[in-house]
Amino acid sequence: AQSVTQPDIHITVSEGASLELRCNYSYGATPYLFWYVQSPGQGLQLLLKYFSGDTLVQGIKGFEAEFKRSQSSFNLRKPSVHWSDAAEYFCAVLPSGAGSYQLTFGKGTKLSVIP
Amino acid sequence: DVKVTQSSRYLVKRTGEKVFLECVQDMDHENMFWYRQDPGLGLRLIYFSYDVKMKEKGDIPEGYSVSREKKERFSLILESASTNQTSMYLCASSIGQGRGNQPQHFGDGTRLSIL
């Protein structure tokens, strides 16, 4: 079974600083990979996804993520954080085989932004 | 834009009651999912459905059932609510496998309290 690890439970950055949120997965092949963001009291919003091809993917709100097969990682980055980015971020994997429906989520990383 | 609508944002019920959580999506998605989200435990899949009248157990189905009589609607039922079912419940939908793997889209969640 696949698993997802987000090693950082809580990260605090200053507004305008760069950001990197880590995600490592365990799966036999290359899965489909996603990052979601959840603002307080809200549902999850899709930031970006990786299915195949270019390993650097661009998402909404200025976020990007890089897939590194050798490290089984899919880290999320943003060059300059805004106060509105304060939220919880979830990495998720979906097996790439046929008949796979179940997303596996990491436990999440809570981002706090200092003005 | 995909719209997943959960009928209630907040709900308070009593122990032993039968509770219905409703979810509707407007994008003709084949797959629908129910998760619960608890601090420190992340998102856990309760049930999912890949077609009308079809359902599959997720990781934590005990104490829950589901109903999918129409493609756009997926209901979660707590047969006899207990206090340990107090949680945030999230509904999601995605395009079926036959149309390629696509990410799940989430509703805003229902915060359910069982007293």
Sign of CA dihedral A21, A22, A25, A30: positive
Whether pLDDT at A87 is above 70: yes
Give the pLDDT score at B89.
Answer: 97
Average pLDDT value for residue range A54-75: 95
Sign of CA dihedral A79, A81, A87, A88: positive
Which residues in chain B come in under a pLDDT of 50?
Answer: none
Average pLDDT value for residue range A80-102: 87
Average pLDDT value for residue range A9-24: 97
Give the pLDDT score at B8.
Answer: 92
For residue A15, the distance in angstroms to the closest alpha carbon of chain B comes to 26
A-B C-beta contacts closer than 8 Å: 52
Whether pLDDT at A57 is above 90: yes
Give the pLDDT score at A109.
Answer: 96
Q: How many structural domains is chain B composed of?
A: 1
Whether pLDDT at A49 is above 90: yes
Look up the CATH number of the domain holding residue B49: 2.60.40.10
Find the residue in B nearest to A34 (Cα). B103
Calculate what percentage of chain A has a pLDDT beyond 90. 74
- For the ranges A23-32, A78-87, A91-100, the lowest mean pLDDT is seen at A91-100
Q: Which residue of A96, A103, A108 is in closest CB contact with B104?
A: A103
Domain that holds residue A80: 3-114
Angular region, A107: left φ>0, alpha ψ -120 to 50, beta rest: alpha
The string of pLDDT tens digits covering residues B47-60 is 999 889 899 999 99
The answer to whether A102 contacts B111, with C-beta atoms less than 8 Å apart, is: no
Give the pLDDT score at A22.
Answer: 98
- Rounded CA gap, B109 and A41, in Å? 8
Give the pLDDT score at B32.
Answer: 94
Give the pLDDT score at B88.
Answer: 96
Domain that holds residue B90: 4-114
- For the ranges A2-6, A26-30, A64-68, B6-10, the lowest mean pLDDT is seen at A26-30
Measured CA angle at B84 (ends B31, B49), to 5 deg: 10
Q: How many structural domains is chain A composed of?
A: 1
For residue B108, the distance in angstroms to the closest alpha carbon of chain A comes to 4
Give the pLDDT score at A113.
Answer: 97
The string of pLDDT tens digits covering residues A92-109 is 998 877 666 778 899 999
Q: Which residue of A36, A42, A106 is in closest CB contact with B108?
A: A42
Look up the CATH number of the domain holding residue A38: 2.60.40.10
For residue B109, the distance in angstroms to the closest alpha carbon of chain A comes to 5
Find the residue in B nearest to A52 (Cα). B101
Give the pLDDT score at A98.
Answer: 63
Whether pLDDT at A64 is above 60: yes
A40 touches chain B (CB under 8 A): no
Phi then psi for B79, rounded to 5 degrees?
-65, -40
Whether pLDDT at A5 is above 90: yes
User: What SS3 state is found at B98?
Assistant: helix
